[in-house]
Structure 1
Amino acid sequence: MQVLGPWSDQATITALAGGKARGLHSVHNGGFRVPEWVVLGTDVFERFAADAGLTPAVAAFGALEDLDQALTAGAELRARLGCAELSGPVRELIADGYRRLGAGSIAVRSSVLAEDGARHSYAGQFDSYLNVNGADAVLDRVRDCWASAFSERSIRYSFAQRQPRAGAAAVVLQRLVAARASGVVCTANPITGAPDEVVVSAVYGLGEGLVSGAVDADSVIVEKSTGTVLETVLGDKESSFAPAADQGCQVREVDQEDRGRPVLTAAEIAELTKLARRLESDHGVPQDIEWAIDDTGIWVLQSRPITTAVRGGADARWAAAVIQGAGEAVPEGELRIWDNANIIESFSGLTSPLTYSTAAEIYGRVYRGYARSLGVRGSQLRQTERWTSVLLGSFHGRVYYNLLHWYRMVGIAPGYRLNRKVLEAALGVDEPLADDIANTLRPFTFRTPFGRIWARTATTVRYLRRLFGIDEQVERFLAEFYRVYDDYEARDYTAMTGEQAYRAYREVDRDLVARWGPLMVLDAILLTCTGLLFGLTRLFLPKAPEWLALTVVGPGADIESAEPARAMTALAERVGTDPALTELLNSTPPQALYGELARFPEFRAEVDAYLERYGYRSLDELKLETPDLREDPAGLFIMVRSTLATLRQHGRPGPDPDRRAEAEAYLDAHLRGPRRRIYERLRAKVSRCAAHRERVRFCRTRAFGMVKRMIRAMGRDLVARDVLDEFGDVFYLTVQELRGCYEGADPEPLRRLVTARKAQRAKDTELVAPARFVTLGSGFGRAELAGQGWVPRTDIPVAIPGTVLAGTPSAVGAVTGRALVADEPHDFAGADPAGKSKVLVAYRTDPGWVAALPSAAALVIERGSPLTHVAIVARELGVPTVVQIKDVTKKVRTGMRLRVDGSAGTVTVLPGEGTGDGT
């Protein structure tokens, strides 16, 4: 039994000194400024317990497995500890430790073996006392620290964490710093998990009030890599802290002039950030550091691993990815280009962590399967795994293509130079990639030129086989998909346990993703054939109008994906024949309409038939957080009401027969003989592949609808198990975290992560998402992103009358109407009270927006391309459409009068009521 301190060897400290002392020993011997300290090891408590006859009771307490029994035993032990005499050797050892610090005011802190570990902090579970002065007071406070190892809060914590009870506790004695300011600095954001954010909390005077929650501290978020201050929140400085008087703390009143000022200067924040980086580098993991500043500078009072952020490995990567980036380790200075292009068709606006992480993982697995299907093997396949897993990224809740990797993906198939140009059109990329960059992007490399020639020849042969056999491959896929889909879709997920739903989810996930990979060759074939057709049009018809190529390419008017819009139009026509039904539809809130339809059983049956056929669809249907029409049919009634208003003004929508006939007439007049036969054969191939793609995309929609039902069963289960507070919280988890709930991972951090992500989402809502930006290396953060266009929406000026916004023509026709800028399809009401159809202006669209098309006078899309799903359907339905108009959703406001020319690809802002006022 001896006093331990910085001089003690590491093994003795580890065995006897407890978590706080372990941290102090490491920091002190790492060369950092630490106030003088000593520690009374657990052997001192064991000697005290033995002298007092408490050893059997302590051992029995540690063996208890029932919470109520442990609480009773702990209360008895605390009572016996309070009245037990300290033996002479124990008293002398404590006095010796106090003398080594020069007497005076000290801090007395518990230091339990399990405390401040890599997985559990035990923060606040054991007692600490400040401003302890005099030998007798130190003896009393040491006894109190021992007793806190048996406190009710520490017992409940250990049971909740499934950890052993504390039992014997060491006690740290440390010289008290006469602090001007003190606080905590974390080297990663402990709530969000963001690894490049240093979070500094500071109060005047001693810092115990901060960690106890008694004081509202200043909070500063600093970008670790650059030292840039990202965010500052000043606390209420009525007093520096006000903890309980029995802990020996002082309350320092703050001068009136200090109350509106930050606690720390810019130089002190910079110094703390530098200190935090050094400590994290020394320890190898993010650190939670207590510090104090006096007249001599900064002191480190304690440093321990952060346990409240997501810990280590893949989990940490995914937690960071949810905040920003793709979780990719990018070499210093290496370029990444982020483009939202037509990914916003699938994942529009703010997208939940569960949807993003699910999609990112599936994309990686699918495209690795695609590479294998084309014969990529060995080291080349392993090279693809480095970039297929990071094809997507998430920034401020928005999903982006990690664009350079998509060029690598295109390079797997032959015809890279042609395919990459068509890829840019298919993705809706505004800015083609420079050749000097594009030509360096290889999906993999080879050791020898011969190996490259052999492998690329084998890939080309496989690709050509797929090219000529794609029709049969698609039919086989569809047959297998619907076999699996029909099985899982028929199950009753409302009656399943969470474990059963999770097993079903894992089974269908493995089955369908494995089948999807080889089918990605369809996208490559469509790129190749479309590129050849556009090239052939320029070669055979160099003077052809721009609209011709778009008009002659298409899957046909009978595509499956247009069926929901036609069925909705039929529902609206049915309503229009019945005045009573029309009145009900127009006067009843959409959320209540389904129940009210009991008075109209025939129409109710038609609605049920629609829901049975298309109920898996929804607005933003690929977002797992968005309920489908079966779960919430209100969206259906909103669209039926809108379609009805449009029908009354314009009649049934449909394709423009004149323009299609005009295209055929142009071909007949300018293209004959063998060249026409070649052209028509290629045109038919493109149309078939486009139709196949629409059918496959419908399968994807159905699969996501099925997965939604499984996840909802798991979400309800996690609430019932008290893992989450409410059902919607499940969507703030990543898919890895959700799996962990059913595979034995510790669920304790999840509530904190959910809370932090909700708060971050509220902030992200206010920001403009730029269409494209770049980053260098992995060390980017909020300050760098702000410089690339992530600014508040209010910073973008409104367009004035006469402004002509140019984009890409997508569906011909010209109309005039009032704008309705919609973030979601259900925001679109179709017609105003005067019965005038509106121009639907959207940042992006996904297949769920098809339901809104019959209600729109025209469609204007900021992001997307003429080859996207909604653009194709808009052409089939005859809705004039312009896409790829930069910043249109920021420059146009709801109520503005617009003239949309789908042939010229222009949107003109007209004078009139509502222009620019947001009404």
Structure 2
Amino acid sequence: DPVHINAVCSPLEWQMERPRPSSELSQAQDRLFFYGCNAAGQRMVVCFSRFKNQVAELWLCLYAADGCTYTLPCTFTLDRSDGNTFTALGLRLECLAANRRWRLAFNGTLRKCIPGDSGGADTTEAHVKFGFIWSTVSHTLEQPVELSCALLAESFAKLPTPQMLAEIDSFLLETDSYDQGGMMSGEVTIEGTSAEWNLWGSKVRTRGAVVEDTRVEDHHFGFLENGNIYHVVHTDKYGGAEGLYYGSLYAPELRMLPIDYGLIRTQDLISGSFLRMYIGFGSIQLSIHARHKSVALTFGNEESACEVQVAAADLECDQMHGKGFTVRVQRKGPTTYRISEHFKHKGVRERSSTDPDPLVAHIGEACCKSSDLTGGKGSSLAVLHSIAEQFKTFTVPDAFVVTTSSYKMFSLGGEFQRLVQQIKRCGLRGDTQAALKETCSSVVSAMEKLPLPDLVEKEIARCMKKYGDDLGGKRFAVRSSAIGEDSEDMSAAGQMTTFLGVRSLSKVLECVVKCWASQFSFTSINYKRQYGQPMDSPMAVVIQEMVNAEVAGVMFTCDPLTGNPAYITVTANYGLGESVVSASAEPDTYVLKRTPGMRPVLESVQVGHKSLYTTQSESDGVVMLPVTEDKTKEKCLENDQVENLVFVGTQIEKCHTTPQDIEWAVCGGKIYMLQCRPVTTFFRESDSELTHELDTGLKCEKEAFTKANICEVLPGATSPLSLSVIRLCFDTYCRDLYTGMSAMYPHDPSFYMPVWMPIHRYNYFLWLSDGQMNLRSDANVLEKSMMYNTLGRDITGEIMKNGCVDRQKKTNIWKLPQQMYYLLKMLFTTNKRLKRISAATQDLHLSVDGMLSASQMYTYLSNSLHHLREPSDVLVSAFASSSMYNLILQRILAAASGDLTPQVFAEFSKMLTGGDVESAEVPRSIQELGTLLAASTDKENFLSMSIEEACEWLMTVENPCGEKFRDFLHKHGHRNVKEFDLYTKPWCMDPSSLVKSLRAAAMAPKSTTQKEAPSWDLSDLPYKLTFVQKLLLKFLIPRARLAVAARETSKSGLVRTIHKLRTVCIRLADQMVLEGRIPTPDLLYFLTFEEIGILLKTRSPSLVLKAQRRLRLHPELDKVKYPSLFVGVPKPIMTAAKRIEGDFEMKGNPMSQGVAEGYARVVPTFEEAHLIRKGDILVTTATDTGWTPYFPLLSGVITEMGGPLSHGAVVAREYGLPCVVGADGITSMLRTGDYILLDGNTGILRKLAKPADEDP
């Protein structure tokens, strides 16, 4: 069961974490609360509450280290929560893995409060953007079931029996929540300045009955420097005059616990006030002194009838410092749930299952707002029409939508199905891009000739009749409206055909079919394959009356680059907006700034050249015409026109509650709104978030870690799928082993935290400060030996001077016999188990032959994970046994010599020489094979071959060299560097690195002497041993040597099992490509095991894009180096800054953020696009939809022309690639192979000297 082994989250966990169904909100709460803080004074508190009627209440505050606070006032707004995500306004709280990881993102304007000298404060507004990954550090504490019964009983027992029973019932209903400690890592950008924040605190998830009576509740939150996290609640609703105390306490050396004692003195929240709090559980007793450092922030509104005060506090507890909050909730009555009329336009009434879906729907009909029926464009147009009806400040041209029901009827035809199967067969055969392009072209041509179903044709004709005699003079725009189009996950910009200036009913009918056929074009099919979407998906078509615009363009109601809502950007050109959207002409650009309580004010105007404009032709269609020279130098809109236009845009945005990308037109002084869609990259994860997404939460700011030892077994960055598998090996299957080996110590039984190896930036580390090792200078010989065995030196005492947390788990001496028995049993049984497991891993056979779908293969892989259990357990047992033998030997030698000296370790290393160690056999076999090749008559032929030819020769040649090579691969072919990583190809799949080693061995001069391992005897020791010590050494040394060999053999067995799972993953990846779920097999390894299952069920485009971005980041993360020993959040070793000496530097317009450094690929025309290679920075004039398949290969984009909505900028933002446009003349300044730095944050481009050790 994948749930039982922690391979995936349980359905119940997902149910508890995700937003509740709307139908439950009239009776139940749905609240999510996070807080975090650190020693530097940075803090964050965020609360999101959902109510009935699609209402959400949220508040947020950030505390910067400089004392400034940034707050989002408490407000009721439109609840846009869906799936696993709480979202409203600019806030998004997304559950990535239930009870394990969350993503907290915000982009918007916050109220900035600057502390004044006199105690007052100056208030301004500031653009704030952040993205945090919250990772758990503890299990959950569920309330009320896990609260201290004694503490609750003490309060309730003071009441009269009837009141006591009533209050207990009420408390149990309302207090359905759970606390969980965690760490947040992310990037915070305030007014354009970014910084990395690491915060510690709690998540509180509340799901109890709705509370509407009056009460006051104080929630005290705190984080101490040793990692203790607490949440104490005092409420006056229960327990009589003294109220009721309850809460949670997380102690890293123990687990998340309920407090069994609580008392708080001094309840004032004024600045400078002190609060004394006493809490405890068992032997843990905390006396906390809190000083409120600033004026309490107040959040509240009339609708909620609830006021919240938040006061930051500095904490002291037993000579420790900490940070925290007091949150006071004063409820004055029931919530009214009133919501502004602005938000009612987005509401979609649930249609009865018995109601037939219309074939054609007018945008004024309520059903038209359903995206499942009318697609992305159609549903947004219906909402836009509804907004226009309310405000009367703009007009939406009349339109109707040919619904997805019509498409389904059209797609039932036999000829249609036959044509679609042609394209699907291309995918199953793995045809080349050229063959696919040819097939798509022939399919689209044939499909365009198919007739519309009679019923659909009649419905369209009925809608067209409303125009009466004016129909002949009307022009229409016929546009595709696919499900998921213009969404936050996929923009599908320009992928399907749009027809403009269409006249007559017959032409409209013809264009509807062509729109449907266009989703099978080469460009569209490739786009869908890149996002893992089905080739044939339901599509509606919008038929909209065209406006013969005098001026038209695009409006972003936020800064299109940074997402800053304070700025609104308008681009405009004469005629229709097509010239702006297609970037065929340089438009005018207007930037306006919002001012509180007033309309946005024009801040800057950049007059574009506007050399061409689009207008309706005299016949069908549109034409591009030149703009007269005098008009090119003039603004196409006056200032007051722009300000009126933007005011309308803010009205539309207010109804959607998120920034919008709006196409508009002006004709005869009237404003027309043609399309509206969300800014699709608004909540796209930053590279920083993706880098930290799978991090393990650290328990405090002063944890100690090392890369020693672990960097040999798990070097560099590990792929996400492999992280899932390795977690099973060492955190799930070895948890019982860990418990037995350390039975004297308390344990957290949760699977949420790793046992030994935390992850940071996809790198593994060893955790030193878990509380079981004494890191102080008074460490004993055994503890010092452990440090030596791990790091090669004694670091006890040294690490404490670097500020490491002094954490010691309490031991239960009564469990010492149990622990000793377990360890001795492990010492004497590991070798027996190893022989059996080693044979089992060799005999293991996994096969997916005969399975027809990726889902079947995934289920088989899931059911095969249990094969990792015993090899993992044996490996850890062998490693522990070897370590124990080493520690005992070192202890004996230290006793004989008088201390643990370097000489002791030198002698110890000699003792272990010998034994049949498998890892030592590999280089020996390579050397032997190299010697054989050197003596062979084929030596010169072998050395003259290419690597590929040499591999082929060794695999096929019938001579002693080939036989020995194939025998080596049979025995060791599952090994290689990074062999635990499923993404790595072992020698049996890619022996090229092996062949390079063989070449070096074959070319090496023949050795005239044979080296032998030095012999060692007890008599060689430089100090005198006692009789008992000699007996012990004679008994232990052979076993210690065997233990070393056992450790390597068991490692080989586990790696062999992982390789056999790798073969299943390879088949699964190939099958997912054939089914069109992922574009390339490599992407499978950049999804977690659970994400693969989700993708198979949902075809989530966001997961495919995330995998592509992880794959792009992986090489850089793999290069990063870390210190061998450090305290605190792991930070890479900073290499010396490169001296930038480019031939030139120029500045363009940044359109997508990020930084890329690499080789330029100058491609002036699309005909040369096939020359692009992975990692290139594309330099070209401009891009269109045909370039999209090449974007996954790129690391950056530079174009000479373009704007915020140009194809290159849009797709670059989707893929998270840095992009700069407007680099005039760059294709003539650079050549392919030039080494350049592209800064998408500033728009700077520099040509650099090529790295000395790299070739393009």
**TM-score in terms of structure 2 length:** 0.43
Return the letter of the residue paired with 2:972: Y
Query: What is the rounded CA distance, in whole Å, between the counterparts of 2:1008 and 2:564 in structure 1?
Result: 55
> 1:484: how far off?
3.5
| Residue 914 (structure 2) aligns with | 557
User: Cα offset for 1:468?
Assistant: 0.9
Q: 1:707 to 1:305 in 2, by over 3 A?
A: farther
Correspondence for 2:691 among 321, 324, 333: 324
Letter in 1 for 2:770: R
Q: Is the 8 A contact 1:107 1:129 kept in 2?
A: yes
Match for residue 546 of structure 1 among 902, 913, 917: 902
Cα gap change, 1:182 to 1:107, in 2 (>3 Å): farther
Give the distance between the partners of 2:409 and 2:826, measured in 1 at CA. Answer: 72
| Counterpart residue number, 2:842 | 486
Residues 263-274 of structure 1 aligned to structure 2 (within 5 Å):
none
Change beyond 3 A, Cα 1:479–1:125: same
Tell me the CA shift for residue 687 of structure 1.
Answer: 4.1
Tell me the residue number matched to 2:1097.
Answer: 744
What residue number does 2:452 align with?
76
Q: Does residue 523 of structure 2 align to residue 165 of structure 1?
A: no
- Select the residue among 408, 430, 437 that pairs with 2:770: 408
Q: Give the match's secondary structure for 1:76.
A: coil
Deviation at 1:591, TM superposition (A): 3.0
Shift of 1:485: 1.7
Q: Which residue of 2 aligns with 1:604?
A: 962
Select the residue among 338, 347, 364 that pairs with 1:10: 347
Q: CA RMSD in A?
A: 6.7
Structure 2 CA distance for partners of 1:167 and 1:614, relative to 1, 3 Å? closer
Decide whether the 8 Å contact of 1:498 with 1:713 is kept in 2.
no
Q: Where do residues 502-541 of structure 1 align in structure 2 (5 Å cutoff)?
A: 502=858, 505-513=861-869, 516-517=872-873, 520-524=876-880, 526-527=882-883, 530-531=886-887, 533-541=889-897
Instruction: Call closer, same or farther: CA 1:293–1:411 in 2, change over 3 Å.
Output: farther
Change (3 A) 1:481 1:437: farther
Q: Deviations over 1:476-530 (max 9, x none)?
A: 53244235323324x6778987757656543442222366247635544555554
Distance 1:61 1:7, change over 3 A: same
How far off its partner does 1:39 sit?
5.9
1:124-143 equivalent positions in 2, closer than 5 A: 124=494
- 1:617 aligns to 2:971 (yes or no): no
- What does the per-residue CA deviation read over 1:727-778, in whole Å, with 9 as the maximum and x for residues that have no partner? 555445544455556x53417567655654454456668x65343798989x
Contact persistence 2:345–2:386 (CA under 8 A): no
**Offset of residue 335 of structure 1:** 6.1
Aligned equivalents of 1:93, 1:333: Cα separation in 2: 73
Answering whether residue 1024 of structure 2 is matched by residue 670 of structure 1, we say: yes
AA in 1 matched with 2:1121 = A
Instruction: Please identify which structure carries the higher strand content.
Output: 2
Equivalent position of 2:819 in the other structure: 463
2:1071 counterpart letter in structure 1: D
Q: Which has the higher contact order (CA 8 A, sep 6+)?
A: 1
- Point out the more displaced range, 382-391 or 156-165: 156-165
Decide which of 688, 704, 708 is 2:1062's aligned counterpart: 708
2:976 alignment partner, SS class:
coil
1:618-767 equivalent positions in 2, closer than 5 A: 618-646=976-1004, 648-649=1006-1007, 651-657=1009-1015, 664-665=1018-1019, 667=1021, 669-678=1023-1032, 686-724=1040-1078, 727-728=1081-1082, 730-739=1084-1093, 743-746=1096-1099, 752-753=1105-1106, 755-761=1108-1114
Are residue 344 (structure 1) and residue 711 (structure 2) matched?
yes
Aligned equivalent of 2:937: 580
Q: CA deviation at 1:693?
A: 1.9
* Residues 1:187 and 1:486: Cα distance change in structure 2 (over 3 Å): farther
* One-letter amino acid matched to 1:342: N
The within-5 A match list for 1:230-379 is 289-290=660-661, 302-304=676-678, 323-325=690-692, 327-328=694-695, 334=701, 340-349=707-716, 351-360=718-727, 362-371=729-738
C-alpha separation between the residues in 1 aligned to 2:498 and 2:1099?
Answer: 28
| 1:325-351 CA-partner distances (Å, limit 9, x unpaired) | 253585999567775433332344465
Task: Show the counterpart of 2:266.
Answer: none
CA distance in 2, matches of 1:293, 1:90: 23
After superposition, give the CA deviation of every residue in 1:372-412 in whole Å (9 maximum; x if it has no partner): 55698999544452345982233xxxx423555x6439679
Code of the aligned partner of 1:541: S
Q: In structure 1, give the amino acid aligned to 2:763.
A: Y
Contact persistence 2:548–2:615 (CA under 8 A): no
Instruction: From the superposition, tell whether residues 632 and 91 of structure 1 become closer, same or farther in structure 2 (CA, over 3 Å).
Output: same
TM-score by length of 1: 0.56
**Cα pair distance change 1:393/1:9, threshold 3 Å:** closer
- Give me the whole-angstrom Cα distance separating, in 1, the residues matched to 2:960 and 2:614: 69
**Pair 1:302–1:373, CA change in 2 (3 A):** farther
Amino acid at match of 2:1058: F
State the Cα deviation string for residues 521-548 of structure 1 (Å, max 9, x = none).
5544555554454455444314776254
Distance in 1, matches of 2:707 and 2:612, equals 48
Distance 1:580 1:669, change over 3 A: same
Give the whole-Å Cα distance in 2 for the aligned partners of 1:151 and 1:586. Answer: 58
Q: Structure 1's 583 and 120: CA in aligned 2 closer, same or farther, altered over 3 A? A: closer
Supply the distance in 1 between the matched residues of 2:989 and 2:785 (Cα, whole angstroms). Answer: 38
In 1, Cα distance between the equivalents of 2:691 and 2:893? 42
Q: Does the 8 Å contact 2:516/2:539 carry over to 1?
A: no
Q: Distance in 2 between matches of 1:510 and 1:706?
A: 13
Say whether residues 1:570 and 2:928 are aligned partners: yes
Q: Distance in 1 between matches of 2:560 and 2:912?
A: 54
1-structure distance, mates of 2:958, 2:738: 54
CA distance in 1, matches of 2:393, 2:1046: 74
Q: Is the 8 A contact 1:366 1:516 kept in 2?
A: yes
Following superposition, the deviation at residue 694 of structure 1 comes to 2.0
Q: Which amino acid counterpart does residue 1059 of structure 2 have in structure 1? A: G
Residue 1121 (structure 2) aligns with: 769
Q: Distance in 2 between matches of 1:751 and 1:707?
A: 22
1:364 aligned partner, one-letter code = D
Q: Could you tell which deviates more after superposition, 471-480 or 605-614?
A: 471-480
Percent identical among aligned pairs is: 13
Work out the CA distance in 2 between the residues paired with 1:423 and 1:591: 45
Letter matched to residue 1001 of structure 2 = T
Match of 1:434 in 2: 800
Instruction: Check the 8 A contact 1:129/1:249 in 2, yes or no.
Output: no
Q: Is the 8 A contact 2:661 2:679 kept in 1?
A: no
> Would the aligned equivalents of 1:575 and 1:581 in 2 still touch at CA under 8 Å?
yes
Q: Distance in 2 between matches of 1:168 and 1:649?
A: 78
- Mapping for residues 214-229 of structure 1, pairs under 5 Å: none
The answer as to whether partners of 1:148 and 1:154 remain within 8 angstroms in 2 is no
CA distance in 1, matches of 2:549, 2:738: 63
Q: Secondary structure at the match of 1:621?
A: coil
Amino acid of the residue matched to residue 557 of structure 1? G
Gap change, CA 1:603 and 1:760, over 3 Å in 2: closer
Deviations 1:80-125 (A, max 9, x none): 589947578678999xxx9xxxxxxx99988778655677666556
Shift of the 425–587 alpha-carbon distance from structure 1 to 2, 3 Å rule, reads same
Letter of the 2:842 partner, please give it. D
Residues 110 and 127 in structure 1, CA contact (< 8 A), matched pair in contact too: yes
